Amino acid sequence: MELRGWLAANLTDDIVAVARRRRSDDAVFERLRGWNRAMADAGWAAVSWPQQYGGRGATVLEQLVYAEETTRARAPLPINVIGMNNIAPAIMQYGTEFQKRTLLPRMMRADDIWCQGMSEPEAGSDLAALRTRAVRDGDHFVVNGQKIWTSLGHHAHWCQLYVRTDPEAPKHKGISCLIVDMSLPGIEARPLVTLNGDADFAEVFFNDVRVPADALLGPQDGGWQVATTTLSHERAAAARLYVEMRARLEDLVADFARAEVDARPVLDDPAVLLRLGEIAVRIKYLEVLCQRSVSATMHGGDAFGSASLAKTVWGEVGQDLGALAFDVLGPGCGGRWADLRLTSRSLTIAGGTTQINKNITAQRVLGLPRR
């Protein structure tokens, strides 16, 4: 309720509208950064963080309420959300006191923008095949290689970078994690223009970059375990996947309610209602799936591989929603739904493809043999 009051007082229509515009526009980016800072100063940017780092130590259930409330108000996500959800937990677990004290507060306020250097051209689904090399030279690592699909890479001040430090070891055992200052000489970040013309991602090139050895996060050659911490936090975030999708469905129905095709209200068309119903059922069931997952976590129940399942369902239903919206509204409504029709392709690719998720379900949950 405290949050609801704060949102009512601080979230202007203007900020809600800005979030729908493209972040490749610098003015849009800076407005969203300002919103991140406003949330942080009020203690609403990173509620899951422990209080000692400026968070609220929110439980999983409280995080769900937070997601419901901020989404209901259509508040933009903090721009540094990847840093706060995916990188910060690793810094808290593996970082030095100095790293925690200097990096985390500025991350929370978006004073520094953070990116994650994981995927590479030759290491997509097979992340552990990454090739970017870091060679120890005195009190530095010398880094060479290329990252891709780096969200915010061209805006970032810091990068949580995964590099290969032992090329002789088995592929999971020769990886280390570095916290890299993106202003170091030899780093070049190029915006990667995606299919809809936006540029949320970057390609980042490392050419003889000298990174101080104390940038190491976690043990040398122990980067895979750092990455797994990060990824398991990403899975905890799976519990809130339905919230965003439900909001999208509500927005679509609101646009449908104003739309006509051949002088007939769209919502009088049984074929539209049927497809809407098909999507609504699955979004509701995704919600219950997420709640079952939270319940299992809290009460020691069987987690039934719910995170990868929820991610798969989310991607599929999101694409069906994008297809319905575009089929009915076309490029109308400011192009929002045409954009979703295109960008929803990423829902079954980013953060682990649906096919990899199905492999995980088949092998780890259903116990089918690996080849």
Partner 1 sequence: MNLELTDEQRALRDAVRGFLAEKASIEGHVRPLLADPTGVTDAVWRGLADLDTTGLLVPPEYDGAGMTMVEAGIVAEELGAALYPGPWVSSAVAAPRALTRLGVDGDAAELFGGIADGSTIATVGPLTGRLPVAVGQGESALLRGEMRGVPDAAAADIVLVFSEDGDDTGLFAVDTTSAGIMATPERGIDQTRRQFRVTLDGAPARRLADASPEAVRALTDDVLVATAADALGAARAVMKSAIEYAKVRRQFGQPIGSFQAVQHLCADMYETVELARSGVIHALWAADAANPAEKHLAAVRTKAFAGRLATVGDTAIQVFGGIGYTWEHDAHLYLKRLLGWNTFLGGPDRYLEEVGARLARSLLREKHTRGFA
Please identify every residue annotated as catalytic: 234
Q: What's the rounded Cα separation, in Å, for the pair 290 and 181?
A: 37
Q: What would the x/- binding string for partner 1 be over residues 51 to 80, using CB under 8 A?
A: ----------x-------------------
358 binding partner 1? (CB under 8 A): yes
Q: What's the rounded Cα separation, in Å, for the pair 248 and 111?
A: 30
What's phi and psi for 324, nearest 5 deg?
-60, -45
Q: What would the x/- binding string for partner 1 be over residues 236 to 275, using CB under 8 A?
A: -------------xx--xx-xx---------x--x-xxxx
Q: Which of 50, 73, 103, 101 is nearest to 3 (CA)?
A: 73
Site for partner 1 in 281-300 (CB under 8 A): 281-282, 284-289, 291-292, 294-296, 298-300
Q: In whole angstroms, how close is the CB of 367 to partner 1 at the nearest point?
A: 7
Q: In whole angstroms, how close is the CB of 360 to partner 1 at the nearest point?
A: 9
Q: In whole angstroms, how close is the CB of 225 to partner 1 at the nearest point?
A: 27
Q: In whole angstroms, how close is the CB of 308 to partner 1 at the nearest point?
A: 9
Looking up tokens 């915010």, which residue turns up? 152
Query: Is the CB of residue 248 less than 8 Å from the CB of residue 171?
Result: no
61 versus 142: smaller Cβ distance to partner 1? 61
Q: In whole angstroms, how close is the CB of 75 to partner 1 at the nearest point?
A: 17
Do the strands 158-164 and 175-181 form a parallel or antiparallel pair, or are they unpaired? antiparallel
367 binding partner 1? (CB under 8 A): yes
Torsion angle (degrees, nearest 10) of CA 313, 317, 319, 322:
-160
323 binding partner 1? (CB under 8 A): no
What's phi and psi for 206, nearest 5 deg?
-120, 120
Count Cβ atoms within 10 A of the Cβ of residue 105 and give its class: 0-12 exposed, 13-18 middle, 19 or more buried. middle
Instruction: Report helix, strand or coil for 63.
Output: helix
370 binding partner 1? (CB under 8 A): yes
Q: What is the DSSP letter of 1?
A: -
Structure tokens at 25: 């526009």
Q: Quick one: which segment of 19-27, 42-50, 82-90, 354-362 binds partner 1 (CB under 8 A)?
A: 354-362
Can you give the binding site for partner 1, defined by CB under 8 A?
61, 249-250, 253-254, 256-257, 267, 270, 272-278, 280-282, 284-289, 291-292, 294-296, 298-301, 304, 306, 309, 312-313, 355, 357-359, 361-363, 365-371
